[in-house]
């Protein structure tokens, strides 16, 4: 199973992706987590990425694509993976297609988690208080939502056109949302 999970910041992608990947027995590949790990370790990639992340902007495709390529070509990703936070731009969609085509692979399904904007902002502000993530301030949250609407929301049309998109209601209890995702994937 090669899966992508999409949804606006605060939709609960990371939470759901962790559970779904474990249930399906595939690695959870989160670009946000990979960037944060690089920032934490102070790698050159982390130093580059941090400037963009702190402003709520996307890290340049050139940096992101290379990082994802390195990760999904690891042996543990050979049977499948769940991509969380990638692709986020049309260029990344094309790049991912090429990475997979090179190994005669393709994406099997794209899950879009839908939530309402007010709820999302509330969740992110709550997470800011609990975890203190640098990009969870009100201004940066607003910017991340704008960037998502401009650059990433259009990707759902691309995957819908390929008949790969499943929309899942992301509102409600975490376990209920997980159940919805797994049942949508089983269809
Ligand atoms: P969220 O979806 O809640 O914004 P993530 O943890 O997925 O959080 O991502 C945090 C930040 O990492 C993003 O705001 C962006 O700066 C960067 N990032 C993550 N994935 C990508 C990507 N595919 N392309 C560019 N930047 C990315």
CB 144 less than 6 A from any atom of ligand 1: yes
CB 92 less than 6 A from any atom of ligand 1: yes
On the 0-12 / 13-18 / 19+ scale of CB atoms within 10 A, 170 is: buried
Q: Which of 50, 109, 144, 180 is catalytic?
A: 144
Quick: pLDDT tens for 44-58: 999 999 999 999 999
Is residue 123 among the annotated active site residues? no
Q: Are 79 and 134 in contact (CB under 8 A)?
A: no
> 157 CA to middle of ligand 1, Å?
20
H or E element at residue 165:
strand 165-169
Whole-model pTM: value is: 0.91
Under the phi-then-psi rule, with left for phi > 0, alpha for psi from -120 to 50, and beta for the rest, what region is 184? Answer: alpha
Quick: pLDDT tens for 73-111: 999 999 999 999 999 999 999 999 999 999 999 999 999
* Regions in the chain scoring below 70 on pLDDT: none
Beta bridge partners of 167: 112
Q: Which two tokens stand for residue 37?
A: 């790990």
Residue 128: how many other CB atoms lie within 10 Å: 17
β-pair type (165-169, 28-30): unpaired
Is residue 143 among the annotated active site residues? no
Among 4, 35, 95, 153, which is best to mutate for testing ligand 1, by the most ligand atoms less than 8 A from CB? Answer: 35
Q: Which domains are assigned to the chain?
A: 2-186 (3.40.50.300)
Is residue 144 among the annotated active site residues? yes
In angstroms, rounded to a whole number, what is the distance separating the alpha carbons of residues 122 and 1?
33
Cα–Cα nearest to 168, from 83, 118, 111: 111
> 126 CA to middle of ligand 1, Å?
18
Q: Which two tokens stand for residue 67?
A: 């990082």
Predicted pLDDT at 132:
77
Is residue 88 among the annotated active site residues? yes
- Report which ligand 1 atom has the smallest distance to the Cα of 8: 2
Is residue 13 among the annotated active site residues? yes
């Amino acid at each position: 199973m090669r899966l992508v999970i999409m949804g606006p910041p605060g939709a609960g992608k990371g939470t759901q992706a962790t559970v779904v990947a474990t249930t399906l027995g595939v690695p959870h590949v989160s670009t946000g987590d990979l960037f944060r790990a690089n920032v934490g370790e102070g790698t050159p990639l982390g130093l580059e990425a941090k400037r963009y992340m702190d402003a709520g902007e996307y890290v340049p495709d050139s940096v992101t694509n290379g990082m994802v390529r390195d990760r999904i070509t690891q042996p543990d990703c050979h049977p499948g993976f769940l991509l969380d936070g990638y692709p986020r731009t049309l260029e990344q969609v094309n790049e991912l297609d090429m990475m997979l085509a090179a190994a005669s692979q393709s994406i099997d399904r794209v899950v879009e988690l839908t939530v309402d904007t007010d709820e999302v902002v509330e969740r992110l502000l709550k997470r800011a208080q609990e975890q203190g993530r640098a990009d969870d301030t009100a201004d940066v949250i607003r910017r991340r939502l704008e960037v998502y609407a401009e650059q990433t929301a259009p990707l759902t049309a691309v995957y819908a056109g390929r008949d790969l998109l499943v929309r899942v209601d992301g509102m409600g209890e975490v376990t209920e949302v997980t159940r919805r995702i797994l049942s949508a994937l089983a269809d």
